[in-house]
Amino acid sequence: MKISVFAFLFIIFPSLLLAQATVSGTVTDTNGKPISGANVYLEGSYDGTSSDDNGKFSFETSEVGTQTLTVSYVSFEPFKMIDVVSKMKNLKIVLREDVNSLETVTISAGSFSAGDNSKISALKPLDIVTTASALGDFVGALQTLPGTTTVAEDGRLFVRGGDAGETQIFIDGIRVFTPYSPTTDNIPTRGRYSPFLFDGITFSTGGYSAEYGQALSSVLLLNTIDEPIQEKTDIAIMSVGGGLGHTKKWDSPSPKASWNKGSSLSLNASYINLAPYIAILPDRNDWHKPFETASGEAVFRQKIGDGLLKIYGAFDTSNFALTQEDINKSEGLAFKLNNQNFYTNASYSEMLNDDWTLFAGGSYTYGNTKVGIDEADIKDVENSAHFKLKLRKRFSNRFKLNIGAEQFLTDFNENYDEPNFAAKLGFNNNISAAFTEADIIFSRKLALKLGIRGEYSELFKEFTVSPRVSFAYKTGKSSQLSLAYGDFFQQPENEVLKFTNNLEAQHTQHYILNYQYSANNRIFRAEFYRKQYSNLVTYNDAMPDANSLFSNNGDGYAQGLDLFWRDDESIKNVDYWVSYSYLDTERKYKNFPIEATPNFANTHNLSVVAKYWIEDWKSQIGFSYQYGSGRTYTDLNEPGFLQNKTRGYNSVSLNWAYLLSQQKILYFSINNAFAFKNVNGYQYANTPDAGGNFNRRELRPAADQFFFVGFFWTISTDGKDNQLDNL
């Protein structure tokens, strides 16, 4: 009968049922500063209030027993406490800053990222394609950033005194083995991949994560778009060819296949032929078959539950034949090239339970290059693959751990044929690697990244260990300081490996000090670095061959200062940036007799890029100026090696994008508008003339200027999208 006793009591004292408890206290941040406007409430009830200007709160509740009190305020971590309501009095609640917020320090040493997701973007996604000198090549846009050197006749990325092979490119975390179309001297190459399939680009000029290996100087990380926005068709008609792109989306065919959360496919094809252009504007080469390339790319994405599968494939075929001037051959040097390249990459990522994220991916590359140099025919076939498995555990916003393993496989074969000589060369280069890395955020002011990577080379029977550390400290509201150290290893190039396997990996150490200030659409960065090279490959002939003596006796250093300033605020409708790099480097490698500054490194590099939007003309005008101080060359008429320097390099490029309507754009561009005469180096005669003097020939670009006209048309259901972001 106890129940009825209780019932009786309740009837007499109804207030027992409506017992109003008071919840009260104060909310402050970790420094004791009151937080006003915080939302304080009992979860699942309607009872709660907002804290006042002194951080105080007090509210009545009819809830009894054990409840959850929640305190939340924007950009702080929510606070929860489980207790008996009657004890929730005079509480002192301290909210911790949410370290996911923008004010948190980021590790910025060495890297530039472009994308909506990055906290501080030195480059914006549009820049990749609206930079006047870049002509739609993302590598061209990156060459306006500090840390790169101007090697205009090559087209690849040369970073901080490293040669082009020291930069590796990754798509969705998976390595690209042959990122550039092969070419010959003085015909600049372009990146193979079209910029509009990517929505995130990170360019690191040093000190990068332990996840990436086999790169001595730099990594370029490209991420394909996870989910295209809409179905559309893109048509491009250009003075040098044409292109066609199409994107199709499928929604989830629910509810039958509940795993299928939708998919999409993007296709892109282009054809470039320089024959008409060269017929109108002949250049310094004698073209037999002007450059011609056809390429196709496809990205398929499938959402599977909480996972995303992406498959990317690219095929291209290119060919050309020409005779280039040569000081040792009055009839010139004949060169022809025919290349087929296929790359495919598949990756799968999924959020698992307990804050684990899984990533698995692989790529396969097939490259087939046929080169004819005078009488010699060289046929290279490369088959390469890369597999990677990575797990990420988020213990809290303040501690995250990455663990992964990967395998690289390369099978390279070459057939060399001359009328009186033939040879078969080749090698297998397999590398296994494992890495782990921790991200620790101590507070909004202090963050640390600690990583280690181990690699085993089957070819060299060698194991290497690379520690990586970076650290960032916020010095003020808008400024921060970062430090980074890392060890980096890379196998020698195919050109060497095809003759020998009796070598070791080449090695660098990076030391980086970075200062960054960012506020109100203005960014300033200054970075000091020192790079120490060791174990560089040397050989004793002009060109490596089967009889050369190879060793790891080379070494060198690179040090300097990179400055970057971007301002989108001070001048109305104008966005501009300025990059300056100072580089001091010497190395002994390849066949260098002494330590010297290689001919791809120049001391001073300056880039100025500006974009001006003219409202009345519906036009964007782009301007880009590139300066590189002189590069070294060996003057055979004087004693020494790489002892002289060319004159500096100058080029001004202009472009104009005109919006005819929302979906039609007319585009003009001109590179080196003022036709500066640039000399990239000199070729000396092999033998002196009668007077004992070695004659020389200037190495000039094939053409001083380049003109481009294009018409771009997008057809989409909503009639809004256009290709401005592709230009």
Partner 1 sequence: MQNVLTYLTLLFTVIVMQAQTDTTTTSTEAAPTKYEQGMRKAFQLWQEDKPWEAANVFERIATAEPDNWLPPYYVAQINVINSFTEKDKTKLTAQLGKAQNFINDATAISKDNPDLLVLQAQLYTAWIVFDGQQYGMTYSAKASELYSKALALAPNNPRMILSKAEWDMGGAKYFGQSIEPYCKDIQRAIDLFATFKPAGEFYPTYGEERAKQIQAESCK
Please name the helix (run of DSSP H) or strand (run of DSSP E) that holds residue 277, with its range, or none.
Answer: helix 275-280
- Site mask, partner 1, residues 669-698, x = CB under 8 A? ------------------------------
Tally Cβ neighbours within 10 Å of residue 10: 12
Handedness of CA 277, 279, 283, 285 (dihedral sign): positive
Minimum distance from residue 679 beta carbon to partner 1 (Å): 37
Contacts of partner 1 in 207-246 (CB under 8 A): 229-230
Contact 305, 257 (CB under 8 A): no
**Contact with partner 1 (CB under 8 A): which of 540, 591, 637, 662?**
662
Query: Which residue lies nearer to partner 1 by CB, 46 or 421?
Result: 46
Answer yes or no whether residue 661 interacts with partner 1 by CB under 8 A: yes
Query: Which residue lies nearer to partner 1 by CB, 36 or 599?
Result: 36
Query: Which residue lies nearer to partner 1 by CB, 50 or 650?
Result: 50
Answer yes or no whether residue 555 interacts with partner 1 by CB under 8 A: no
Contact 85, 56 (CB under 8 A): no
Answer yes or no whether residue 355 interacts with partner 1 by CB under 8 A: no
Which segment (69-77, 201-209, 340-348, 413-421) binds partner 1 by CB under 8 A? 69-77
Which segment (94-102, 385-393, 468-476, 556-564) binds partner 1 by CB under 8 A? 94-102
Contacts of partner 1 in 418-457 (CB under 8 A): none
Establish how many alpha carbons lie within 13 A of residue 628's alpha carbon, considering only the half-sphere containing its beta carbon: 27
671 pairs with which residues across the strands?
706
Cα-flanking dihedrals φ and ψ of residue 10, to 5°?
Answer: -70, -35
Answer yes or no whether residue 487 interacts with partner 1 by CB under 8 A: no
Chain CA centroid to CA 365, Å: 20
Answer yes or no whether residue 351 interacts with partner 1 by CB under 8 A: no
Strand order in the sheet with 198-204: 111-114, 198-204, 218-224, 167-171, 174-176
**Contact with partner 1 (CB under 8 A): which of 24, 28, 58, 101?**
101
Query: Residue 416 has which token pair?
Result: 């060399």
360 pairs with which residues across the strands?
348, 389
Q: Is 280 helix (H, G, I), strand (E, B) or coil?
A: helix
Answer yes or no whether residue 248 interacts with partner 1 by CB under 8 A: no
Which segment (80-88, 98-106, 304-312, 681-689) binds partner 1 by CB under 8 A? 98-106
Answer yes or no whether residue 45 interacts with partner 1 by CB under 8 A: yes
Query: Which residue lies nearer to partner 1 by CB, 328 or 570?
Result: 570
Minimum distance from residue 353 beta carbon to partner 1 (Å): 18
Contact 137, 129 (CB under 8 A): no
**Contact with partner 1 (CB under 8 A): which of 618, 640, 647, 693?**
618
**Contact with partner 1 (CB under 8 A): which of 29, 103, 325, 495?**
103
Answer yes or no whether residue 574 interacts with partner 1 by CB under 8 A: no
Please name the helix (run of DSSP H) or strand (run of DSSP E) that holds residue 496, with its range, or none.
Answer: helix 494-497
Query: Which residue lies nearer to partner 1 by CB, 47 or 153?
Result: 47
Minimum distance from residue 460 beta carbon to partner 1 (Å): 45
**Contact with partner 1 (CB under 8 A): which of 154, 283, 575, 586?**
575
d(Cα 438, Cα 447) in Å, to the nearest integer? Answer: 11
Q: What is the 3-state secondary structure (H, E, C) of 433-494?
A: EEEEEEEEEEECCEEEEEEEEEEEECCCCEEEEEEEEEEEEECCCCEEEEEEEEEEEECCCH
Tally Cβ neighbours within 10 Å of residue 44: 10
Q: What is each CA distance from 498 to 178, 423, 536, 591, in whole angstroms?
A: 16, 11, 17, 17
Q: What is the 3-state secondary structure (H, E, C) of 632-656?
A: EECCCCCCCCCCEECCCEEEEEEEE
Contacts of partner 1 in 641-660 (CB under 8 A): 659
Angle at 287 between CA 283 and CA 289, to 5 degrees: 135
d(Cα 655, Cα 197) in Å, to the nearest integer? Answer: 23
Answer yes or no whether residue 521 interacts with partner 1 by CB under 8 A: yes
Minimum distance from residue 135 beta carbon to partner 1 (Å): 19
- Site mask, partner 1, residues 139-178, x = CB under 8 A? ----------------------------------------
Answer yes or no whether residue 52 interacts with partner 1 by CB under 8 A: no
Minimum distance from residue 232 beta carbon to partner 1 (Å): 9
**Contact with partner 1 (CB under 8 A): which of 12, 74, 82, 543?**
74
Cα-flanking dihedrals φ and ψ of residue 131, to 5°?
Answer: -80, 125
Amino acid of residue 136: G
Contacts of partner 1 in 301-330 (CB under 8 A): none
Which segment (97-105, 372-380, 404-412, 468-476) binds partner 1 by CB under 8 A? 97-105
Answer yes or no whether residue 70 interacts with partner 1 by CB under 8 A: yes
Contact 622, 614 (CB under 8 A): no
608 closest CA partner among 196, 150, 220, 137: 150
Q: What is each CA distance from 387 to 62, 200, 308, 348, 433, in whole angstroms?
A: 60, 21, 17, 12, 10
**Contact with partner 1 (CB under 8 A): which of 25, 55, 110, 125?**
125
**Contact with partner 1 (CB under 8 A): which of 50, 239, 340, 344?**
50
Minimum distance from residue 103 beta carbon to partner 1 (Å): 5
**Contact with partner 1 (CB under 8 A): which of 13, 19, 30, 37?**
37
Minimum distance from residue 716 beta carbon to partner 1 (Å): 8
Which segment (266-274, 350-358, 536-544, 613-621) binds partner 1 by CB under 8 A? 613-621
Query: Which residue lies nearer to partner 1 by CB, 18 or 542?
Result: 18
Contact 675, 651 (CB under 8 A): no
- What residues make contact with partner 1 under the rule CB under 8 A? 37, 39, 41, 43-50, 70, 72, 74-75, 98, 101-103, 116, 121, 124-126, 199, 229-230, 521, 568, 573, 575, 613, 615, 618, 620, 659, 661-662, 717-721, 724-725
